[in-house]
Structure 1
């Protein structure tokens, strides 16, 4: 299916409006921008409904400070349907799960919450969003983080390691593998 059937929108960090009373927070915050709510709907349907991850943990402390992308399927008969999402999180970050702790580690951007609705998988949407986010990052380095030198980390589900490898990410064996919500993950790096 051609990517021309999809349009991609980006939302800069939405701030406290997504969790006005702190965390844990409602994953469908009423005052949040529509793009954010669309992103959350895809994430909830993929991670919570399909992969059985905890709903309470889906909206987290990184969401207010992250950039969010949503791919919409264009429809002739009604509103555009959100079908794929990604977010990028600026530094600082919590320590790596199950990995080394280096206080002198170079600041990095974390790419995550990549999800595509089941009926739209296999169409290259996760790849499209990842490429769009990385291109945007390369063009807006200082906007995302002062002093950031282009290092990007992805905590990938093991099942999609090959997709990220095709995008130039390299698995970091020193980070090991860890369980997030019952799904095995690993760390992969790329420098822009």
Structure 2
């Protein structure tokens, strides 16, 4: 019974580039494998996004959280997932104008932000507040780990041969929310930035939302 399940949360630091879609032969870290189980069921099976695009370049450099529910003595299943993508993020123009050609794949000009994405909960576990719990867990982790977030941004700068010095993360958090769940993010403290407009991702309307958290140094 869902109501009688015990819930646990696991975190996976950035797993690196050797990731693949779930199958019996891959070598994904266990937490990432659990995350993909939820993501594939929600985004691919339910919402009909492309399976080939479900793993992207942000997965390798992101922190991932999975909520699991007990299903019996010594057994559990993953039921919810979220990831936190450290700075930098791609320029917003690439979303609203996909044909735009930019020299740099990342936005170094604006204040750095982390992005919460791939938030998903299995259908039978919705209505229990797990989406908000995932957001809260990720934000609470972020406010105490700014140094790790800044180091991750510095690594991207080094790999991309960017000659500037990345600005420090000051607590700005971004989500690209599906328009139909905009209210869920508002309930978690995010506010829609109308200047970002609305855009289509594989047939689904999205909006940009921000909030700022107080970083512990």
TM-score after normalising by structure 1:
0.90
Distance 1:5 1:183 in 2: 33
SS in 2 for 1:106: coil
Distance 2:204 2:21 in 1: 21
1:80 counterpart residue number:
76
- The runs of at least 4 aligned residues of structure 1 exceeding 4 Å deviation read 1-4
Which structure has the greater CA radius of gyration?
2
Offset at 1:160?
1.0
Offset at 1:28?
2.2
Q: 2:115 aligns with which of 110, 113, 116?
A: 110
SS in 1 for 2:186: helix
Distance 2:71 2:148 in 1: 33
- 2:96 counterpart of 1:98: yes
Compared CA separation, residues 4 and 106, structure 1 to 2 (3 A): farther
- 2:207 counterpart of 1:186: yes
1:7 counterpart residue number:
8
Note the alpha carbon deviations across 1:16-63, whole angstroms, 9 max, x for none. 221xxxxxxx42271111100110110010000000000000000000
- 2:165 counterpart of 1:144: no
Offset at 1:74?
1.6
1:28 counterpart residue number:
22
2:161 counterpart residue number:
none
Conserved 8 A contact 2:88-2:108: no
Note the alpha carbon deviations across 1:54-92, whole angstroms, 9 max, x for none. 000000000000000000012224521100000000111
